[in-house]
Amino acid sequence: MDYANEKLIELGVNLTGLVVKETASTIQKKITATKSRRDDKKTIETYDEIVNELIEERAEAIRIAQSYKHELEKYEISDKDIEHLNKTISTVLDILKEMSPDMDIEFFEKFKELISVDTLKSMQLLGFNYKQAIGEPLTKLCADKISNVESKSKNGGKK
């Protein structure tokens, strides 16, 4: 199981624990019990406890929601970001194409088509992880090309 799935499962367990806690009925029981005692000091202490408990639970619910949002943002990008990505990747691929004229040009053109707003949005809806599928291979491709250039320059142009 990968880190993202483990994180989502952990968040789900935390959220379930918060929901199952039955806060409303517990609070109602505390209020009823406190009222029956007719001790103002104890009533105030109990109400303070209830308020603090609700504040803590609210903070925990917000933390869980923000964590879910953070996990989701790892896989989702906006149309504007995709358009920017498309332009940038096209430029990078053109540079790589110039650096490797022996590589299949059709591959580069198909790769550019893959990074369109419609294609990536549709793929994201299906659970596509663009960073893993595109970012990691592109990073490796660039690193390999840079290493090749570096090797050639150290060997006087010979490989």
**Domain identity same for 14 and 45:** yes
Considering the domain architecture, whether residues 119 and 68 belong to the same structural domain is answered as: no
Residue 159 has pLDDT above 60, yes or no: no
pLDDT digits (tens, 9 = 90+) for 6-39: 777 887 888 777 777 777 777 777 788 877 877 7
**If DSSP codes are grouped into helix, strand and coil, which group holds residue 59?**
helix
- pLDDT tens for 111-154 read 777 777 788 778 877 877 777 777 788 788 888 888 887 777 77
Q: Are 14 and 34 in contact (CB under 8 A)?
A: no
Q: Say if CB 96 and CB 81 are below 8 A apart.
A: no
CA distance 19 to 60: 11
Q: Is the pTM of this model over 0.75?
A: no
At which of 32, 47, 73 does a domain end? 73
Report pLDDT for 158.
56
Assess whether pLDDT exceeds 80 at residue 99: no
Residue 3 in this model has a pLDDT that exceeds 70: no
pLDDT in tens, 39-68: 788 888 888 888 898 888 888 888 888 888
Let me know whether 88 and 63 are in one domain. Answer: no
Q: Which domain holds residue 142?
A: 79-154
Residue 91: predicted pLDDT? 84
| Residues 85 and 145 both lie in one domain | yes
Taking the CA atoms of residue 35, residue 38, residue 40 and residue 45 in that order, the dihedral angle to the nearest 10 degrees is -50
Gap between the Cα atoms of 50 and 37, Å rounded:
17
